[in-house]
Amino acid sequence: MNPEVIVGTIQVILAPAVMVTSCAILLGGILGHYTGINQRLRAMAQERLQILRASGASASTDTLATERLDEIDTQIPDLIDLYQQVRNAILALYLATAIFLADMLIIALAVVVSLDWLGVASLLGFLIGTTTLLWSILLMVREIWAANRATQFEITRVLNLK
């Protein structure tokens, strides 16, 4: 193999490598978001337990405690849904990363064995990886939209307390 083919191959392989880097950057941010939702879910569950312990086995006469329990009981299912949406976006990003890494190998193999169909497979792999990356971003857009609604719910309920 001559040096020009090697240099050309490396340049072609760099396109999926850039996409892997993009996936890694997005993963860093989304994993932080995932951790934040996890911590919020755990804090709400803990708060719910504390309110129930404080009120004892009987029904609470404290209207603020009752209101907070209602808020928590409304929000936890929504937060679990958000948590699952972020998980799906993370899984899609990991899948896109794996596809781009496999694509890099296909490109290298296509150059070494000189099979035309491997070139087509590498292009197809790149397009599938890019589509998976787009799918992950769309999942996060959906989650952020829903998270805004959940935040507005809690703030509105608190502001309406007398």
CATH number of the domain to which 85 belongs: 1.20.1270
Q: 40 is in which domain, residue-wise? A: 3-159
Give the position of tokens 């993963």: 27
CA distance 97 to 54: 48
Q: Which of 9-18, 77-86, 119-128, 138-147 has the lowest mean pLDDT?
A: 9-18
> What is the DSSP secondary-structure string of 42-101?
HHHHHHHHHHHHHH-SSPP--HHHHHHHHHHHHHHHHHHHHHHHHHHHHHHHHHHHHHHH
pLDDT tens digit sequence for 9-47: 777 777 888 899 999 999 999 999 999 999 999 999 999
Please check the confidence at residue 4 and state whether its pLDDT lies above 80: no
Average pLDDT over residues 1-7: 72
* Pairwise pLDDT comparison (111 vs 97), residue with the higher score: 97
CA distance 92 to 94: 5
Count how many domains the chain has. 1
Note the pLDDT of residue 36: 93
Average pLDDT over residues 96-119: 88
Give me the chain's average pLDDT, please: 87
